[in-house]
Chain A
Amino acid sequence: MSNKPNNSIIIKKLLFLVVAMFGFGFAMVPIYDVFCEITGINGKTSNNAAIYQGQEVDEERKITIQFVSVIKRGMPWEFQPEVTEMTVYPGQIYQTSFLAKNVSDNDLTGQAIPSIAPGNAALYLNKTECFCFNEQKLLANQSIEMPLVFFIDKDLPEEVHTLTLSYSLYNISNNQQENEVTAL
C-alpha cells in the first residue's frame, strides 16, 4: 500500500498520545495533592506545624469546633476526643487532647489522618501541635493522652460558623514491620 509510511507517522503520534495519557493518569496524583493543598478544598489540613505569632483575637465572632474520632477496621484501640465540642474565638490559641488506649495484647502503631468539614475551612485551621503529625506507638494495654494545639485564622470565611475536625485512626503496624524487614 502506498500510504504505509504515512500510517507509521500517525501510529507514532497516537502511541505517543497513549503513553502521554497513561502518564497523565499518574500526574493527576501530585496535581491533585498540590491543588488540594493550595485551595484546601478537600478538607485536608497541613501536615506541618503552624507557628502562632500572637494573632489579633476577634472576640466578636464565636466559632464552634466539633471533634470526631473514627477508628478504622483492624485497629484494636480506643480513641476519642477529650471534649467533643469547643467554642472558640478566631485568632486565639487553644489546647485540647485526644485519648487513645491500645486494648490489644500487641504493641501497635497508629496514624491519625485529619479531615475538616466544610472543606473550605481547612486552610484556616492551624495546628501548632498535633498527634497527627507523627505516628503513635502504643505498647500492649498502654494508654496515652495526645495533645492538639490549634488556632483558627481570623480570615475564616464569613459563612462558616461550625467546623468539624475528624480524625481517622489507622493501624499501620503491618507496614511498619514490612519496612523494618526491608531495612534489615
Chain B
Amino acid sequence: MSAVIDTPETTHEHDDHDHHHAPTGIKRWIFSTNHKDIGTMYLIFSFIMFLIGGAMAMVIRAELFVPGLQLVEPNFFNQMTTMHGLIMVFGAVMPATVGLANWMIPLMIGAPDMALPRMNNMSFWILPFAFTILLSSLFMEGGAPNFGWTFYAPLSTTYGPPSTDFFILGVHMMGISSILGAINVIVTVVNLRAPGMTYMKMPLFVWTWFITAFLLVMVMPVLAGAVTMMLTDRHFGTSFFDAAGGGDPVLFQHIFWFFGHPEVYIMILPAFGIASAIIPTFARKPLFGYASMVYATASIALLSFIVWAHHMFTVGMPTVGQLFFMYATVLIAVPTGVKVFNWIATMWQGSITYETPMLYALAFVILFTIGGFSGVMLAMAPVDMQYHDTYFVVAHFHYVLFPGAIFGSIAAVYYWFPKWSGRMYSETLAKWQFWLSIVFVNLTFFPMHFSGLAGMPRRIPDYATQFADFNMLSSIGAFGLGLTQLVFAYNLWDGYKNGKKATAQVWEGAEGLEWTVPSPAPHHTFSEPPVIK
C-alpha cells in the first residue's frame, strides 16, 4: 500500500510542513493518526475490496451467461453470492464512505483532525485483518460461507459450513471497526467544529455522515448480538434460532433486519450528502432547501428503525403487521422525495456545467430514483408475495447500491481528488468511464427487473431457459461494467502522477472550507481554526 501512495510528491509536502516528526515509509501508514492518511487508506482498501467482490460477481455472471451448470459447482456459486454481498457491503461501500468522512469532515468543519486519531488508526487497521479472516474461509475445508449475505438461520447455524465461525469472527471485527469509526465521527462533529460553525451551517455531507454515525452506533451492536447468538447456537447448546429447542428461526430474521434496514441507509446517506455537495457546485447555485434536507435525512434515519419486517412479508405475518410495515415503508418515500426534488430545484435555472463529478451526481439522482421506485413496489405487501426473492429484488438493491452508493462515492472521488492529490485527473478518460458505466450498469441491472417479474428466483446457479436472453444481457453488461472500473483506477493513478496542477478552489462554483486550503491539502490543516462568517 505504501508503495502506491508514498511517492516523492507526498514527501515533498512533508518538507513544506515539517512541524511534525511523523514516521516515513511503511511506518507512516501503519502508525498513522492523520485523518488524511487514514482516509486514503480506507479508500484504497475499499477499492481493492471492490475489485475482489467484483471478481466474484464476474464468476456469478459467467455461470449465469447461459442456462445450465457449466463453470462452477452450485455450492461454490452460493459461496460466491454470499462473499460478493458481504465484501461489497462491509468491505467496499462502507469503508469507501468512511474514507471520505475521514478526509472531508475535518476539512469541512474546520477541524485540525478527527477527534480521536489513535482510535481512527485502530478502526482502519482492524479491517484488513477482518477481511483476511473472511476471505481465508474460501480456502478451507467445506468452503466459504454459502448461506447468502443475510445468513438466515438455520442455513448458517444448523447447516452452515465449519468456516462459519471465521465469518462470525470477521463480522464481529468489522462491527467493532464501524462502531469505533462512527464514535469518532460523532465526537468530531460535536466537539471540533470551528467557532461559528453551527450545526445548521454544516455542509450536508457532514450532516448525512453525522446521522449515519448514529445509525452505525445503534445497529452494529445488534448485528454483533445476532452473530453471537449464532455462535452459541452452533457450539454452546443454546436454541435461539432452533425450533427443536424452543427457539424460532423467524426471530433471526427479525434481529437481522432490525440491523439490516438501517444498514441500507448507512450505505446510502453519505451518497445523499455527496450529491448535495456536488450539485450546487456545478449548478452554481446554493443548495435548495438546506434545512429540509437535514430534516429529511433525520426522518429517513428514524423511519429506518420501524420498517424492518418489509423484508420478510412472506414469513407468514398477520395482516395487521403487514399493513404497519407496508405503510411505514412507503412513508420513507416522502423524505426521500423531498431530497430528490431539492436536488432538482437546486439545478433549476442554474448555470450548469457537466464535469465528471456532476455527471455522476446527475446519474445518481436519476438511477437512484429508479431504485427507489422499485423499492416502493417491493414495499407493497400484496405484490411483494410475487416479487419476494426474485431477481426483481436483485435489480432493486443493485440500482440503489451501484448507481446509488457507488456512483456517489465515485463522484466524490472525482470531485475531491484534485484537493487530495493537487492534480487533475483526465476529464476525457473520466467521461469515457462515466458513459461506459452508465450503459453497462443499466444493461446489467435493468433486465433483472424483467427476469424477476417473470419469476426467476435469486441465488440460483441455473435457471429456466425462458430467462436466457435477459441473463445473457445482464452478463455482458456486468463484464463491461467490471472492466470499465479499471479505467477509473488508471485515471486516478495517471492523474496523480502526470495530471496538471489543481488550484485551491479546483471547481469554479465550489464553496466551503475544504476549498480554502491549498491543493493538495497539506498534511496538517486548520491548526488555527478558520473564521466562519
Residue ranges of A at the interface with B (Cβ–Cβ < 8 Å) = 3, 6-7, 10-11, 14-15, 17-19, 21-26, 28-29, 32-33, 36, 39, 41-44, 72, 111, 113, 117-120, 168, 170-172, 175, 178
Task: Tell me which residues across on chain B come within 8 A of A117, comparing CB atoms.
Answer: 316
Cβ-neighbour of A18 out of B115, B192, B221, B248 (below 8 A): B221
A19: nearest residue on chain B (CB-CB)? B221
Give CA–CA (A184, B148) in the complex, Å: 40
Q: CB distance B224 to A22 under 8 Å?
A: yes
Question: Least Cβ distance of B228 to chain A in Å?
Answer: 8
**Most chain B beta-carbon neighbours within 10 Å: one of A24, A117, A172:** A24
Cβ-neighbour of A10 out of B190, B220, B221 (below 8 A): B190
Q: CB distance A22 to B251 under 8 Å?
A: no
Contacts between the two chains (Cβ within 8 Å), count? 95
Residue B179 at the chain A interface, CB threshold 8 Å: yes
Cβ-neighbour of B248 out of A15, A42, A72, A120 (below 8 A): A42
Instruction: Apart from A21-B222, A23-B225, A25-B258, list 12 A-B contacts with CB within 8 A.
Output: A14-B183, A15-B183, A18-B221, A21-B219, A21-B221, A24-B225, A26-B225, A28-B251, A32-B254, A33-B248, A117-B316, A170-B243
Give CA–CA (A17, B183) in the complex, Å: 11
Task: Tell me which residues across on chain A come within 8 A of B298, comparing CB atoms.
Answer: none
Task: Tell me which residues across on chain B come within 8 A of A119, comparing CB atoms.
Answer: 316-318
Task: Tell me which residues across on chain B come within 8 A of A21, comparing CB atoms.
Answer: 217-219, 221-222
**Most chain B beta-carbon neighbours within 10 Å: one of A14, A32, A33, A43:** A14
Task: Tell me which residues across on chain B come within 8 A of A18, comparing CB atoms.
Answer: 179, 183, 217, 220-221
Cβ-neighbour of B243 out of A23, A36, A113 (below 8 A): A113
Give CA–CA (A24, B218) in the complex, Å: 10
Task: Tell me which residues across on chain A come within 8 A of B218, comparing CB atoms.
Answer: 17, 21
Q: CB distance B183 to A11 under 8 Å?
A: yes
Contacting residues of chain B (210-242) with chain A, CB-CB under 8 angstroms: 217-226, 229, 237, 240
Q: CB distance A29 to B186 under 8 Å?
A: no
Given known pairs A22-B224, A42-B250, the reply for A120 and B183 (CB within 8 Å) is: no
Q: CB distance B217 to A72 under 8 Å?
A: no
Q: CB distance A7 to B116 under 8 Å?
A: yes
Give CA–CA (A14, B320) in the complex, Å: 35
Question: Least Cβ distance of B239 to chain A in Å?
Answer: 9
Give CA–CA (A43, B217) in the complex, Å: 34
Query: Could you list some 17 contacts between A and B, CB below 8 A?
Result: A10-B191, A15-B183, A18-B183, A18-B220, A22-B224, A25-B258, A28-B255, A28-B258, A29-B229, A29-B240, A29-B251, A32-B248, A41-B317, A41-B318, A120-B318, A172-B245, A175-B245
Given known pairs A7-B116, A41-B318, the reply for A25 and B224 (CB within 8 Å) is: yes
Residue B321 at the chain A interface, CB threshold 8 Å: yes
Residue ranges of B at the interface with A (Cβ–Cβ < 8 Å) = 115-116, 179, 183, 186-187, 190-192, 217-226, 229, 237, 240, 243-245, 248, 250-251, 254-255, 258, 316-318, 320-321
A21: nearest residue on chain B (CB-CB)? B221
Q: CB distance A14 to B186 under 8 Å?
A: yes
Give CA–CA (A122, B115) in the complex, Å: 54
Question: Least Cβ distance of A43 to chain B in Å?
Answer: 6
Give CA–CA (A10, B182) in the complex, Å: 12
Q: CB distance B226 to A10 under 8 Å?
A: no
Q: CB distance A26 to B217 under 8 Å?
A: no
Question: Least Cβ distance of B232 to chain A in Å?
Answer: 10
Give CA–CA (A23, B116) in the complex, Å: 26
Task: Tell me which residues across on chain B come within 8 A of A17, comparing CB atoms.
Answer: 217-218
Given known pairs A7-B116, A28-B258, A170-B244, the reply for A175 and B229 (CB within 8 Å) is: no
B240: nearest residue on chain A (CB-CB)? A29
Q: CB distance A25 to B221 under 8 Å?
A: yes
B315: nearest residue on chain A (CB-CB)? A42
Question: Least Cβ distance of B364 to chain A in Å?
Answer: 30
Give CA–CA (A111, B246) in the complex, Å: 10
Question: Least Cβ distance of A176 to chain B in Å?
Answer: 11
* 6 nearest A-B residue pairs (beta carbon): A25-B225, A170-B244, A22-B221, A21-B221, A25-B222, A41-B318
Cβ-neighbour of A32 out of B116, B219, B251, B317 (below 8 A): B251
